Amino acid sequence: MKSSKKTFITNKMLKSAIRDSFKKLNPKDMIKNPVMFVAYIGMIITAILTFFPQIVGENGRIYNGIVTVILFATIVFANFAEAIAEGRGKAQADTLKSTKKDTKAKLLKPDGSYTIVSASELRKGSLVLVEAGDMIPNDGEVIEGLASVNESAITGESAPVIKESGGDFSCVTGGTTVVSDWIKVEITSEPGESFLDKMISLVEGASRKKTPNEIALSTLLIALTVIFLVVIISLYPIANFVGVKLEVSTLVALLVCLIPTTIGGLLSSIGIAGMDRVTRFNVIAMSGKAVEACGDVDVMILDKTGTITFGNRLAADFIPVEGILKDEMIKYSLITSIKDTTPEGKSTIDLGQKLGFQIDEKEYAEDEFLEFTAQTKSSGVNLKNGEKIRKGANSAIIEFVKNNGGSIPNDLKEKVDGISKLGGTPLVVAKDDKIYGVIYLKDTVKPGLAERFVKLREMGIKTIMCTGDNPLTAATIASEAGVDEYIAECTPEDKIEAIKKEQDLGKIVAMTGDGTNDAPALAQANVGIAMNSGTIAAKEAANMVDLDSDPTKILDVVGIGKQLLITRGALTTFSIANDVAKYFAIIPAMFMIAIPQMQILNVMRLSSSKSAIISALIFNAIIIPLLIPIALKGVKYVPMKPEKILKRNLSIYGLGGVLVPFIGIKIIDIIITPLLALLGM
């Protein structure tokens, strides 16, 4: 499901979209888009006049036929824009459906034995056994066992994840496969209501409901259409008054050119494509409203652990005790970490190497290395020469040194307490009867986050970090990460209060979470992104689910939401600006024979009134498919303040919307003038 590996539009999508474009000509479908429905009615009128021009006392079958064909193309192009956007969503749904099979499940009996049943027979509360090679039949919670699960069918990631009972990693998804070991799962959803089923229905663009902003814009477009309809109806008696005979097809063409058909034809595809972009980013949005809300986010509330920091405490400094050389302390720290595969051990080696220290592992290949255990609270190595080197918790190392007849340095407590007050973890290093110093482990801020927070600030978005750490540690991490505010010793209740406080100020709030205790806050936030690896409670409370379980993705999702809003605004601006050029193309052409003074408005110097009208109508039709790539891919979004974005888009799409039609209509006029002459028009 990774977007980088997806073809933008496949031949299959293209064929399906073309077929659906004609299917959507059904009046029941057309009336859902009032702007295009007006063009649809206009096409029917001109089609009737093509065969029966005498109804209105005209004799222009060829002209009426040309207008009809162009209007038909306009409507089909608009349908195609929506169909191709829907097709991309349906293609993803088909991929998901291919992973959804009627699998067999091992339904557990009360006596511990099991019977093989169809997955469709399972109900909420059923207990199943899933062993290596088995597909998990439906969503559930691990109640016993531990297993490695391949979730590539859902996330696109081939690396398996560990699932076990208890905690935030007990949730399993139907359609994923157990790679090793076994688990007992309690089914938590009824057939047809699994997460995979929801994903399939959500990526089906055809079932997408209009968002509030889209409804508001649709209302505006309808209002503009009604206004132009009144103008066109009023124009007929005015033309008669000044002695200008206006054909019905001309009035229809003028109406279709002046109403916002461009954005009317692209509006649905923009919305569908917005949800599609989020989905291709491996985030499932529960509604288009959630995607739009991302674009309006004012405040982001972020967990510290796993979002702002790595979550694993990494070596940050070597602090020797009094009387010990730092180089000597670093040497013994690295020796104890040679075969320590924990993040702490690896980071100790990395930090030592950055400081210029190298350890030859071959030199210690035959030595006895001791892994960290909960009982000893330490790890280390027993060298061949009899020396014993240890690193671990303060209490464990003190006991080790005392057992070897050593004494405790006077400044050890001060150094250990100083690290603890900063929220770090002290690892004391000793050799035999002597303590050498303390390794300072700290939760490290992810690289590049500070720069991203600066960009968010430029966009007018405030960041708030939530952490259970003490105020001193919270302040240190907040300063290093560059967040605007922080909440120390934060409880789930504190998160909800923080969200409500911002919402009371009229702010749109986003946050991420993965645990059951995050569910209330996710539900309260305007944009709640739950991790796919998290609990079912968190996923049900949120309005987005990140399939990659990357908490920092909220930063990118906000960008996608803003891109959706900017794309809609930019193309609306372009569409309305188009009408200015069409006005200068058609109105002077219609009246300049009876009113020669209007020739001054014919700035494009179009050949004739018929060529002007047909040229404008053709441009109005072809601009829709030309803008489809922008509608689907979205306008390029560059993080900046809203007022700068507005100025940028007005200069590009506002000015471009005025200039492009002038050029396009003139070129079309030059091309079609000889053809119209051949037809005697």
Indicate the burial class of 658 (C-beta count within 10 angstroms; 0-12, 13-18, 19 or more).
Answer: middle
Taking 90 as the threshold, does the pLDDT of residue 428 lie above it?
yes
**Distance from chain centroid for Cα 204:** 16
- Asked whether residue 298 is marked as a ligand-binding residue, the answer is no
Give the burial string for 514-542 (b: 16+ CB within 10 Å, else e).
bbbbbbbbbbbbbbbbbbbbbbbbbbebb
- Asked whether residue 443 is marked as a ligand-binding residue, the answer is no
Claim: this prediction has a pTM higher than 0.75: no
* Angle, CA of 380, 386 and 387, to the nearest 5°: 45
- Asked whether residue 662 is marked as a ligand-binding residue, the answer is no
pLDDT at 15: 85
Residue with tokens 């959804």: 100
Token pair of 534 as six digits: 């998290």
- Asked whether residue 340 is marked as a ligand-binding residue, the answer is yes
Taking 60 as the threshold, does the pLDDT of residue 2 lie above it?
no
Stated as kind and residue range, the H or E segment containing 441 is: strand 434-445
- For the segment 484-514, what is each residue's pLDDT rounded down to a tens digit? 999 988 888 888 999 999 999 999 999 888 7
Range in 75-89, 269-283, 588-602 the model is least confident about: 588-602
Number of C-alpha atoms within 13 angstroms, CB side, residue 462? Answer: 13
For residue 261, the one-letter residue type is T
Q: Are 72 and 263 in contact (CB under 8 A)?
A: no
Spell out where 398-433 has E strands. Answer: 425-431
pLDDT at 530: 84
Whole-angstrom CA distances from 153 to 120, 201, 575 are 19, 16, 41
Cα separation, 101 vs 339, whole angstroms = 44
Range in 79-83, 292-296, 304-308, 574-578 the model is least confident about: 304-308
Q: What integer best gives the mean pLDDT of the chain? A: 83
pLDDT at 3: 40
* Bridge partners for 130 per DSSP: 183
Q: Are 566 and 635 in contact (CB under 8 A)?
A: yes
Q: Are 510 and 558 in contact (CB under 8 A)?
A: yes
- Asked whether residue 442 is marked as a ligand-binding residue, the answer is no
Residue with tokens 């050119």: 257
Token pair of 247 as six digits: 């054909």
- For the segment 347-404, what is each residue's pLDDT rounded down to a tens digit? 899 999 999 988 888 888 888 998 887 678 888 999 988 899 999 988 899 999 999 9
Which among 215, 27, 196 is positioned nearest to 100, based on CA atoms?
Answer: 196
Greatest mean pLDDT among 75-84, 443-452, 471-480 lies in 75-84
- Asked whether residue 644 is marked as a ligand-binding residue, the answer is no
- Asked whether residue 484 is marked as a ligand-binding residue, the answer is no
The predicted model gives 97-120 an average pLDDT of: 79
Would you name the residues annotated as active-site residues? 303
Which among 249, 261, 218, 234 is positioned nearest to 42, based on CA atoms?
Answer: 249
The predicted model gives 652-669 an average pLDDT of: 89
- Asked whether residue 29 is marked as a ligand-binding residue, the answer is no
Cα separation, 157 vs 168, whole angstroms = 19
Token pair of 338 as six digits: 């040679």
The predicted model gives 458-481 an average pLDDT of: 84
Cα separation, 350 vs 271, whole angstroms = 47
Token pair of 234 as six digits: 């009023």
Per the rule left: phi > 0, alpha: psi between -120 and 50, beta: everything else, 587 is alpha
- For the segment 283-333, what is each residue's pLDDT rounded down to a tens digit? 877 777 778 788 888 899 988 876 788 766 788 899 999 999 999 999 999
Residue 152 pLDDT level (bands cut at 50, 70, 90): low
- Asked whether residue 379 is marked as a ligand-binding residue, the answer is yes
